[in-house]
Chain A
Amino acid sequence: MAGTLLATSVSNPFTAYIFAANEPDKSKPWYGIGIDIEKCIGCGNCAKACKAENDVPKEPFFFRSWVEQYTIKNDGSLKVQSPNGGIDGQTQDIHEDEIFKTFFVPKMCNHCEKSPCVQVCPVGATFESPEGVVLVDEKYCIGCRYCIQACPYGCRYLHPEKKTADKCTLCYHRLKKGLNPACFEVCPTGARIYGDLHDKDGVMHKFLKEHNCHVLKPNLNTGSKLFYNGLNAEVR
């Protein structure tokens, strides 16, 4: 305990160096994402739009965004599925009498403030934009796949043609034009929002204030900026 405290106190001034954390640029937006699990109907439009917008390979092994279906049975057992990333919608093959609870969880890059993927990239090809969006420079990536190993959320893959790491960019190309990311645009229930975490009057502050939000795997201290409302303890 004492050792941990000592190490923390010593390393604190260097936190930004040891982790991948950069001080947010206050003059620029600092994006966070909110997903309301209670609103998600599992239609898979988000995952489909993501593939179309970003030329993600169509095969069912490469996803920047996908939807998981969680089913907790009355006996406490858990079943999770995401056939083809939920793009084709989801079906329930457990009889409703046996179901205690079922819900959908959309997944995407958490755009962590202390991104493990940014930290481990040996050449700096994975980096954080001034807006807090984690990006990959495909002209620079050497394809070592260390970032894929380091991402706790399984959000990265090696692009089969480019042979570089690929992941959600929060549709950075659209953001720069003032457009919404594709997955947010097509969500029929408005389960997804994003906004500037610096803006005290913005949608993200409102979302975080009005909901009981959690991040995935908080024990890993990645500084996730993807906040879920209604996140069950079973979700990883």
Chain B
Amino acid sequence: MDHLYEMLKQVDGYIYPNEIELHWSILIVLYPYITGLVAGAFILASLERVFKVEVLKPTYHLALLTALAFLMVAILPLVSHLGHPFRAYEIMTTPQPKSAMAIFGFIYLWYLMVVLLLEIWFDYRRDLVLWSQEKKGFLSRLYKILTLGVSDVSHKTVAWDEKLGYFITVVGIPSAFLLHGYVGFIFGSIKANPWWSTVLMPVIFLFSAMVSGIALVMFLYMAVSWFRKVKIDMPCLDEVGKYLFYVLVLDFTLESLDQVHRIYEAGESFEILHLLVTGKLTYTLFLFQGLLGTIVPIITLGIFRIKKPNEKIRKPLYLMSSLLVLMGIFFMRWNVVIGGQLFSKSFLGFTSFKIGLIGMEGYLMALVWIILPFFILSFFLWLLPPWKKHAEENV
């Protein structure tokens, strides 16, 4: 508890005595961040399938597997931050229906089990059957198990796979909107906290999710191509860049609208929020989220809309933009979650936030949760390689 005594010395102004410690720390920053990556990646995949944006095809399966890998991890920081993680199942077994948070388990399971797993299964079933015949030993058995015993690869059955997969994608789009809009609602519905309490919060979360998910797929597509030593499909990358630009502009507009509205309305919380953004959040809001995470990528991608320099220039700039956007959206989550707890609900002062290196809520643990999905994705890409699938479609 020594750190609390240390923080007590750093209190600025007056805060309620129970407000010294921030109750939602780095793990709760990661939860909406990772969930957003899932929703965004899925929506990008859906563009190809539902809206027939053929040029995005090279990223389609990568985006789906990315969404699955990150979704499998999304719940872990949330559960590990609980005071009683072993009671987490109570949210599912005895949910309190008036609570916005109580619905989380059901939306999560719906998205994981019904949308992502089913869609990927229908997409890969024919390949799983073919791979189970081609491979030997353990891998063959594993692929066979993954087919769930449905080994019919006749044109008629594969056509049904396609139809059902399409249907699930159509259902999946509102589900992805629900998943992340809902995460925004968890914050937006807290009327006690004026930094969170805005009707725009679910919409802002949704668009920022799309931004971060598209940026992640863009980065992964380039990274995977580099690892595989294959040429990047530039029309595809340009198309992803185009969508990233449009959604980024929308996201920036919505967030600006939120801020302009707060400034013009200037309610009773205005002074404390003004001190918050010009004080404790100066670097994370204006520099990391605003300038580096939003303005620089918007200008870079915007210029590409008007005039496209050659590939050698575009590729590193796309890489830079995707990484900057991923960093910017992380700090957007940081500014919402941490920023919303730095000021007192008395509106008269601030507490401070320190994060340790080790411990359940330390930097290292946070790093584990952010790196883990990349390992899971590597496994998925090894087990279900989209590039091999493409080759076999022509068999």
Contact = CB atoms under 8 A, between A and B. Distances in A.
Contacts, number: 136
Nearest to B192: A152
A156 to B, nearest CB: 7
A121 interface: yes
B345 A154 contact: yes
Contact of A78 (B15, B85, B348): B348
Nearest to A167: B18
A9 B281 CA distance: 41
B191 A116 contact: yes
B17 A122 contact: no
A46 B186 CA distance: 35
Contacts of A220: 191-192
A163 interface: yes
A17 interface: yes
Contact of B17 (A18, A82, A158, A160): A82
A83 to B, nearest CB: 9
Contacts of B91: 122-123, 142
A104 B59 CA distance: 63
A155 interface: yes
A60 B8 contact: yes
B17 A61 contact: yes
Chain A interface secondary structure, helix, strand, loop or mixed? loop
Interface in B1-49: 1, 4, 8, 14-21, 23-24
A236 B346 contact: yes
A164 interface: yes
A149 B84 contact: no
Given A123-B91, A149-B192, A163-B83, A157 B348 contact: no
Nearest to B91: A122
Given A80-B346, A236-B348, A158 B23 contact: yes
A109 to B, nearest CB: 11
Given A82-B17, A153-B16, A143 B96 contact: no
Given A123-B90, A236-B348, A142 B83 contact: yes
Of listed A122, A123, A140, A146, residue having the most chain B CB within 10 A: A122
A60 B23 CA distance: 16
B82 interface: yes
B98 A18 contact: yes
Of listed B81, B192, B344, B345, residue having the most chain A CB within 10 A: B192
B16 A123 contact: no
Contact of A149 (B15, B23, B81, B85): B23
A208 interface: no
Interface string A108-151: 00000000101111111000000000000000111111101111
B192 A122 contact: no
B87 A142 contact: yes
Given A61-B8, A236-B346, A124 B16 contact: no
A140 B23 contact: no
Contacts of A140: 87, 90
Given A121-B96, A164-B84, A146 B101 contact: yes
Interface residues of B, number: 42
A40 to B, nearest CB: 17
A59 interface: yes
B193 A149 contact: yes
Contact of B83 (A63, A141, A152): A141
A59 B17 contact: no
Interface of B: 1, 4, 8, 14-21, 23-24, 81-85, 87-88, 90-91, 94-96, 98-102, 104, 186, 190-193, 341, 344-348
12 contacts: A59-B4, A60-B17, A61-B20, A118-B98, A122-B101, A122-B104, A124-B96, A143-B83, A154-B15, A154-B18, A154-B19, A163-B83
A180 interface: no
Contacts of B96: 121-124
Nearest to B187: A149
A149 B24 contact: yes
Contacts of B88: 142
Interface residues of A, number: 51
A152 B190 CA distance: 9
Interface string A170-212: 0000000000000000000000000000000000000000000
A143 B82 contact: yes
Given A59-B1, A122-B96, A123-B94, A154 B346 contact: yes
Contact of B16 (A17, A145, A154, A160): A154
Contact of B90 (A79, A142, A149, A163): A142
Given A116-B191, A145-B24, A152-B191, 12 more contacts: A61-B8, A61-B17, A66-B17, A120-B98, A122-B102, A141-B83, A142-B82, A148-B18, A149-B193, A154-B346, A156-B18, A164-B84
A123 B95 contact: yes
A85 B17 contact: yes
B193 to A, nearest CB: 7
Given A124-B94, A153-B345, A146 B99 contact: yes
Given A62-B18, A120-B101, A154 B191 contact: no
Contacts of A149: 23-24, 190, 192-193, 341
Contacts of A143: 82-84, 87
Contacts of A50: none
Contacts of B344: 154
A236 B98 CA distance: 27
Contacts of B90: 122-123, 140, 142
Contacts of B16: 66, 107, 153-155
B18 A122 contact: no
